[in-house]
Structure 1
Amino acid sequence: MDILQSTSRERETYQVKFSYSILWECALGIAAITNTKLLDTLDKPKEHWMNIKGSISDDLSEQLEFVEKNNTWKALLQILHQQEFSSLEVFEQYVQDLTDTELKFICLPFVGNHYQSYRRQAAQGGSDSIKELKRITALNPFFPAYIEFISTCKAASLKKHLIKVMSSWYQEIGEEYQQETEAILEKDYQSKKEVQQKVSSEELVQWATGGVTYIPEPSVHTVLLIPQYIYRPWNIEADIEGTKVFYYPVANESVSPSDRYMPDYFLVQKYKALGDEVRLKMVKLLSEHPRTLQDMTERLDIGKSTIHHHLKILRAAKIVEIRDSKYCLKKNVFSLLAKEFDWYLEK
């Protein structure tokens, strides 16, 4: 049944903010090198990470083993969201000054406003609250074990570890490339800020992340975009109170600012994906309405495995997504693509 609009009020959306620093890069570098299964998929070749592992001190190697076992990279990111840290020393002092309960509360993941009391009680070691948080996050691949660890570990040991792994990574890895890395992050930050004046908040998030469609949620008033170089080409998504966070991969032109002809990675992938007769037919089919794999197979009279292969390419290019068990075009994907191409020509 059609719905008559009885109000002229625009649909609420979110505010987009930006942040970047070498400390975010350090924390994400620690996350990357301890996620062994992911190393083959990162922009930097696996040999790069193996060389780092072979060159670091025994102390840092020991700390990274602890990170890999307990996923304490998440704790580092949680702490970095508490304020703007101007230096490693400020970060270290902040962690040192936290009470045991404050530290654990910050490190525990935010899972919704309704569960904040469980989070506080779990930070104090409440077994029932720990159990409830683990139940709520049961579908997450590491949250339950991480929650158990943070809630029950010795806070003094956790402090020592977090300070040690962050400072060691910064001194042995991050500091050497700090000037180059900060220049890349600053370039990307500035380019996204310029585009912010030209598009909606939702289009900005979709463009910056290379295709993530984030629809406003009632309890989320801010989206925080954090450019990162070390974890390319992946987006990392997180939640903090009132805010959705995307640590998004910096664009190609930010990495090579002297080459004004360098196109954005996702722009290239979109046009590559569209440069095929079968995939264009699929796009036209999906422009009519969402479809199942079986439906497209029958309409195009092509083998299911072939259709699936083409859909995989379209999904990787952030043109197609799965929603309610059907394939559909991402919202505003082609109107935004036209704008992206104009921005490339104008730069």
Structure 2
Amino acid sequence: MNPHLPHALGSGQRIDIGAAAPYTVRFSASPVYECALDIAAFTYPEIHDKLERGLPSLQRMRQRMSAALAREVQLAGQVHTWRSLLLLAHRWDALDNTPWPEHVPRLCAWMETREADLPHLAAPYLGEGDAPLLVAALCGDPAAQADLMARHQDNRLVAPHLSYLFRTSPKALRAHLTELLTRWYDEMMPVTRGSAEDGAPGRAAWMEALHREAERMRGIAARTPAASVVHLATRGLDVPPQPGIHTVWLVPQIAYRPFTIVNHLPGGTVYYYPLPEDQLPGHAADALLVRAATLYKALGDVQRLRLLRWLSAGPQSLAQLTDCLGATKSNVHHHLSLLRAAGLVRVAGGVYTLDEAALDQVGTALRAVLGGPGGDGV
């Protein structure tokens, strides 16, 4: 028996003898990310009633959309090419050194110069094991295409995306992505990010807030361990070092609030995390309203209240909570995501824990909005 390993192991235990190198944290903010995530949220109706912006805002977006943009958005919703826009923004080396008002036109110009390689640049990352197969498939190998489609046929995001990339020419792909991005940016960002109609801050105010947040987090990262920075940005997500992960990319976003969206790149993971309430542009009272709305929306469901009650007895895993609730794992995970977004629940190593301090703030948040004791009011 190896004297360096424990000799009493149950069948459900494991020993990890690998060495995970520490990762570095990178920060970015761009209207390209906002447009792509906006499109992702807009084309995912199952999540509409959970988004912070509310259904009336989404309905106004649809009403104001031109017929030309609607065609591109419909295609993006079917084949998930908003993912390609995210990937292209990450793979465009000049993004962080380019002023944000120039991101959309310059990225489109870069796509034109890289048109021949665009399917490879716009393709989802499937892991190192599938990388050679993906290259062959994108070069037109029918056997590789069939193999990849069979492997990912049950993935509702990946399979349609791959199928579209396999059957579309680079020229047609560029035309679609360019139209989708530029039209959404021109038509929808001024509306979804404020308009004269509702008096909300406009595009520039939102983008400046996102860049201030990225700079704020860079300052924190200069004096704080990387894992703690990720934990802070994502509101409690613990991301320990993992083999093969060299970079964790943090991108503040408003489009998908209150959710954190996870993406994967070669050698790294991306977290598009919601801009904190106190960093939102506009009057401070707006941040109080948003915080209270997020909190009480999370509490406004019997199933989520049951989860909180079970967690009040102590930390539990997703499997344990699924058994308690008697629902599907995906349904319970969705409820837990909303509770995490509201700051009521934390997760570490797959174990969920009730945040007692956040619970203590439930009444305080409402008093702050109403102007009662404990808050400044609106």
Cα pair distance change 1:186/1:135, threshold 3 Å: same
- Mapped partners of 1:336, 1:112: distance in 2: 39
Alignment correspondent of 2:352: 329
Say if 2:173 is the partner of 1:144. Answer: no
Matched, 1:45 2:54: yes
Which amino acid letter does the alignment assign opposite residue 56 of structure 1?
A: M
CA deviations over 1:211-267 (Å, ceiling 9, x no partner): 33323221110000111111111111111111101111111001156539957949x
Gaps of 5+ in 2: 8-18, 192-201, 300-304, 359-378
Structure 1 regions of 5+ residues with no counterpart?
Answer: 4-9, 298-303, 338-347
* 74, 77, 90: which one aligns with 2:106: 90
Partner of 1:317: 339
Indicate which of 197, 214, 233 corresponds to 2:258.
233
1:119 equivalenced with 2:134 (yes/no): yes
Q: Which secondary structure state, in structure 2, belongs to the residue aligned with residue 285 of structure 1?
A: coil
Over the residues paired in the alignment, what is the CA RMSD in angstroms?
A: 4.0
Measured against aligned partners, the alpha-carbon deviations of 1:4-60 in whole angstroms (never above 9, x if no partner) come to xxxxxx963211110001121112212222222222211111111111111122111
Q: What amino acid is the match of 1:168?
A: R
Contact 1:60–1:169 under 8 Å retained in 2 = yes
The answer to whether 1:209 aligns with 2:234 is yes
Does residue 292 (structure 1) correspond to residue 320 (structure 2)? The answer is yes
Which digits, 9 at most, give the CA deviation of each residue in 1:77-119, with x for residues without a partner? Answer: 111111233322211111112243x111112111112221111
Deviation at 1:167, TM superposition (A): 0.9
Percent identity for Structure 1 against Structure 2: 19
1:245-302 Cα deviation digits (max 9, x unpaired):
1111111001156539957949x959x98xx9x9588445338x9993599x7xxxxx
Scaled by the length of structure 1, the TM-score of the pair is 0.76
Query: Amino acid of the residue matched to residue 139 of structure 2?
Result: Q
Asked whether the 8 Å contact 1:184–1:255 carries over to 2, the reply is: yes
Tell me which of 201, 205, 209 is aligned to 1:184: 209
> Is contact 2:21-2:241 (8 Å) kept?
yes
1:33 corresponds to which of 31, 35, 42 = 42
TM-score, reference length from structure 2: 0.70
Provide the C-alpha distance between the structure 2 equivalents of 1:172 and 1:153, rounded to a whole number of angstroms.
26
Q: Which amino acid aligns with 1:292?
A: Q
**How many Å separate the matches in 1 of 2:64 and 2:234?**
32
Q: Tell me the alpha carbon deviations over residues 292-318 of structure 1, each in whole angstroms, 9 at most, x when there is no partner.
A: 3599x7xxxxxx77xx99999776433
Residue identity opposite 1:218 in structure 2? P
d(CA) in 2 for partners of 1:165, 1:315: 29
CA distance in 1 between partners of 2:333 and 2:36 (Å): 34
Q: Tell me what 1:65 maps to.
A: 74
Separation in structure 1 between the aligned mates of residue 312 and residue 228 of structure 2, nearest angstrom = 20
